[in-house]
Amino acid sequence: MGVQDHIKKVGVVGAGTMGQGIAQVAAMAGYQVVLYDINKDTLKKAQAAILLNLQKGIERGKVSEELMDQTLDRLTLTDQIMEVTADLIIEAILEDLAVKQQLFADLEAINSPQTYYTSNTSSIPVTQIAAGLNNPARFAGLHFFNPAHIMKLVEIISGSATDPELIQLLQDFTVSLGKTGVVANDSPGFIVNRVARHYYVESLKILEEGVSDVQGIDTLLEATGFPLGPFRLMDLIGIDTNYAVTKSMYRAFHNDPKFRPNRIQQQKVDAGHLGRKSGKGFYEYSQ
């Protein structure tokens, strides 16, 4: 039996940058997808972003008009959580443990006992998120990278109670999306964010100490082979999202100084300068 014998419908919770990208790739791969967000404006923006991504794919010769039409037909957007019933649910909301746990409790109450649950969390250990579930064996981490419709890597994280058969199923699922899945055991930040955190934290320290400016640091690191400098990358990801992950990892590693959040990043968040999505971050962008 193939993965689509087990998973026919995918629910994605959270229609922000990550959720909309995950919903798009799942619909393109042939799955029926329901994309949920409590905010109707966020859903409208997600719908427009997905359409734009598909149109750009057509322009580049990577997506046919037929595939675009099929993808849009498979995709349902809703602000009603009762409509989020699926074989596999992928959560992509803010990095807040209590909020995630409450969400999964609500989802478990309306879904089949056979439903699988996953979180796109960047840093919170999946064992903690699954602790409140009736059946934590059916829960794992499924961490995509931004932009999800382009980036190939997906981290598949096994919690302490995760059924090994679910990990295999998620490996097959990521392959069906055209992605490369890497299995990791549960730990704050998993593999990529634990290693990459210092790319941001140390760059912010250099900026704070006046060693160089934003553009200088980005230019130097891009010249050494990084596709994007740390400040351009934070603007792309969302400075608020990046800051939330840093805070989460700082707490998870018992306030280890090497993960300390930076006040410059906090000031950007406080000012609403969140990067590309707000039109201004470390750089300015035309909307």
Q: Catalytic positions, please?
A: 122, 143, 155, 193
The DSSP code sequence of the chain is --HHHH-SEEEEE--SHHHHHHHHHHHHTT-EEEEE-S-HHHHHHHHHHHHHHHHHHHHTTSS-HHHHHHHHHHEEEES-GGG---SEEEE---S-HHHHHHHHHHHHHHS-TT-EEEE--SSS-HHHHHTTSS-GGGEEEEEE-SSTTT--EEEEEE-TT--HHHHHHHHHHHHHTT-EEEEEES-TTTTHHHHHHHHHHHHHHHHHTTSS-HHHHHHHHHHTT-SS-HHHHHHHH-HHHHHHHHHHHHHHTTT-GGG---HHHHHHHHHT--BGGGTBSSSB---
